[in-house]
Every structure is written in C-alpha cells, then in structure tokens.
Amino acid sequence: LNRPRIFEQIIITQLIVSIFFMINLLLIATVFSNQVFLSTMRYILFLITLVSDSVFLILSDLLLILYNIYFTMQVSLCIIFYLIVCQCMFVTPVTLTAMTLERYVAICLPLRHPELCSLHNTQKCILIILTVSSVPCFIILSTFIAAASSSVYTQHKRCSMEMFVSLPWQNHFKFAVYQFYFFIMSITITFSYVKIMKVAKAASGEDKKSTWKGLRTVILHAFQLLLCLIQLWCPFIESAIVKIDLLLYINVRYFNYVSFILAPRCLSPLIYGLRDEKFLNALKYLALCFVHIGLICWKCIEQVGI
C-alpha cells in the first residue's frame, strides 16, 4: 500500500474537518445567541442536527486516525464508539424528517402550529428522535452479539464499523434496516411536499410567498436526506470494489468519506441557516464580532512583538 498517499489523505481530511467543525460551532453559537431561537421548534431541531453532526465529525475523524495508525483498543470500548457514531448518523435524517413535519404543520395547519410545536412538545419530539435513532444501532449491535463469542469483547482490535458486520446475513440485515428507515422518511417528506404544494396553489399574496418558501425548505430537506442515503450506500459500493482493486478501494473510500459523509454534515446545515433571514442576520452579527475580536487580538500580539 502507498502509505505516504494514505497519510497525505489523512492530513487533508484534518484540514477539512477543522474547517467544517469551526463552521458548525459558529452556527451553534448563533442559535445560542438569541433566546428566540431557543424557544422555537425548528431552530431547536436545527441545533440538534448541528450538535449531532459535530459529534459525528469529531468521533469519525478520531476513529479514522486511530485505524490508520494501527491503534488497537478493546472491542467493548469500540462498541461504545460505534453506538455514539451510529446514533449521530441517524439523528440527523430523523431530525430532518421532524423539521419537515414542522413545516407541514406551520403551512397546512397554521392555527394548530403554536399548540403542536410548543416548547413542551419540542422536548417530547427530541426524546422521540433520540429513541427512534437508537433503535437501528441496537438492532445491528444485537446481530453482532448473536454471532460473536463471549471472549471477543476483551480482545484488542483496530476499531472500525466493518468489524460489527462479519457475516453476509448481518450485512443484508443492516442494509434492510437502513432502507426501511429511509423509506419511511422519504414517504413522510413526499407526503409533506404534496400537501404543501396543494396549499401553495390555493394560496394568494403574502401567504403564497410564505408557502412556496416552506415548499423550498421541504425540497432542501429531501436533498439532505438523499445525501444521508448515499452515505449508507457507500459501504456496499466499497465492499464490491475491495474485491477488485485494493488501491482503488482506498481512493474511493476516501472520496466517499469527504464527499458524502463530511461535506453534507457542514454544507447542508450552512445552506439551511443562510436561507433563514432572521438566522442569517444573527450569523452575520456574530461573525463580525468574532472578526473584530480576532483583529484586536492580532493587534495586541503585534504590539507585544514590537
């Protein structure tokens, strides 16, 4: 294997992860900068996706580094890492589906929106999101426990998600669980899109403008969900390529990791945030504050240097 090439890819990945993580932190800080954002369902759900994506970025990057430097850890510890990463992987698409339903209620059931999307119901919604997101992780983990011997948990191995799928039937079962979840999410988003489309055609004036804006938001959620779905297809594509050419497998896996795992977890939330005028204004203000503080610190460093 071309080790220098692999380490070059890891270094580039660190730069990308650092940039994406800083952008996500800026978006998280923007949500916390205004009490209105913390008392509105769609912004709270947006915050959930940002936190989940940030944790996913850090842990997946850490596991990537440890795997490539041949660091071994106890399998039981790897299971904990797996559960957290898997949970974060599902939290984002499930939350996107919940955000779509929130837009559906806001546009199709405007009189019931304050009641259904209250802060109390938002807390219940978050609990449901975390529960629903954890189910496939524990199902896949159960298949691993069913096939593994009791001694495997104390063994030391290189931690990767592939180690939990060692038999063909486990792989097929995992794929079936993933597709079932995204089928339900796709149906939900399609249903919301059709209902909002009907309201958009019947609306007029300012209501029509607001409705079409909500429709574009649903389309964006559908695109984000598609990216998440592609991410779940990647392991199956890679498993087919590894049998053909190992070097090609390494390059394809790196491309998939950057394009379909890292990038969507930063760019999609950023695009969503920039589309919201209220959030965009708060983001600009916070960014200018950070720039101003950075310039002050730089001048202080220059004066100390002099």
Task: Report the DSSP pairing between strands 156-158 and 72-74.
Answer: antiparallel
Q: Tokens 């339903």 label which residue?
A: 101
Q: Which long-range contacts (CB under 8 A, 24 or more apart) does 271-274 make?
A: 271/220, 272/46, 272/217, 272/220, 272/224, 273/27, 273/30, 273/46
3 state SS of 239: helix
- pTM for this entry: 0.86
From the list 245, 265, 262, the residue with the least C-alpha distance to 254 is 262
Task: Centre a 10 Å sphere on the Cβ of residue 49 and count the other Cβ atoms it contains.
Answer: 26
pLDDT tens digits, the chain, 306 residues: what are they? Answer: 556 777 787 888 888 888 888 888 888 999 998 888 899 998 999 999 999 989 998 998 898 888 888 888 888 899 899 889 989 988 988 998 898 898 889 888 888 888 989 999 999 999 999 999 999 888 888 888 887 777 788 888 888 877 777 777 777 788 788 888 888 888 888 888 888 888 877 766 666 677 777 777 777 777 777 777 777 777 777 777 877 777 787 788 888 888 878 777 777 677 777 777 888 888 888 888 877 787 777 777 777 654
Helix, strand, coil distribution of the chain in percent, nearest 5: 85, 0, 10
Q: What is the Cα–Cα distance from 1 to 253, expressed in whole angstroms?
A: 14
Counting beta carbons within 10 angstroms of the beta carbon of residue 290, is it exposed (0 to 12), middle (13 to 18) or buried (19 or more)? exposed
CATH topology of domain 3-275: Rhopdopsin 7-helix transmembrane proteins (1.20.1070)
End-to-end CA distance of the chain: 50
Q: Domain-by-domain residue ranges, the chain?
A: 3-275, 277-305
Q: What is the Cα–Cα distance from 279 to 289, expressed in whole angstroms?
A: 15
